[in-house]
Amino acid sequence: MKLNETDALIIVDVQNDFCPGGSLPVEGGDDVATALSGMALQFRIKGARIFATQDWHPENHSSFAAQGGPWPPHCVQGSHGAEFHANMRLPIGTSIVRKGADKAIDAYSGILDSNLEEQLRRAGVQRLFVGGLATDYCVLNTVLDARKLGFETFLIQDATAAVNVEPEDGEKAVQKMRDSGAATVTAGEIKA
């Protein structure tokens, strides 16, 4: 699969709090960061766009347990946990998309509560390649929203990792994405 200028890589929430050692770690997060860093360079070489989403929560975000939400505090604005993983080498020109800044909106999707759709349309993007953390939450919802908006969408299956609150959540999420019309690819199938 050859890349071109109408393609975009969407890197979803590869942040310290979602990687080993963070407040809400996903097993394999370090490997996902490394894989997507290499892919970002391939996309850049071909003139394709790169977008990196970033959870950017206020301290009293509704998704936090203290406010009745399901999660421990994570990706608080300006914190070390909200920073991109050290293995993430984002090329010059990468667009950073912050989401979840409204304390009332959970914003699992990189498209919800952000200007990502507007940026994609303005850039003339037609195909999206999505990887990141976590398969069963933010990646899933980003892919589902992209499909609702009519983008041809590919899940980079070996550049994601799942939380797996229940043992098969990641597999179920991949099936939901396929059911929405998204295709699955591996990093090796994408060629610069």
Q: Which residues are catalytic?
A: 13, 99, 138
Cis peptide before 134 (omega within 30 of 0): yes
User: Which 3-state string (H, E, C) describes 88-130?
Assistant: CCCCCCCEEEEECCCCCCCCCCCCCCCCHHHHHHHCCCCEEEE
- DSSP assigned state of 153: E
Q: At what angle do helices 140-148 and 169-179 cross, to 10 degrees?
A: 10
Q: In what order do the strands lie in the sheet with 7-12?
A: 95-99, 49-55, 7-12, 127-133, 152-161, 183-185
Closest CA to 190 of 160, 159, 161, 149: 159
Q: What is the torsion angle, in degrees rounded to the nearest 10, for the CA atoms of residue 133, residue 15, residue 146 and residue 60?
A: 110
Which tokens in the block code for residue 77? 């604005």
Closest C-alpha to 57, from 119, 138, 156, 131: 138
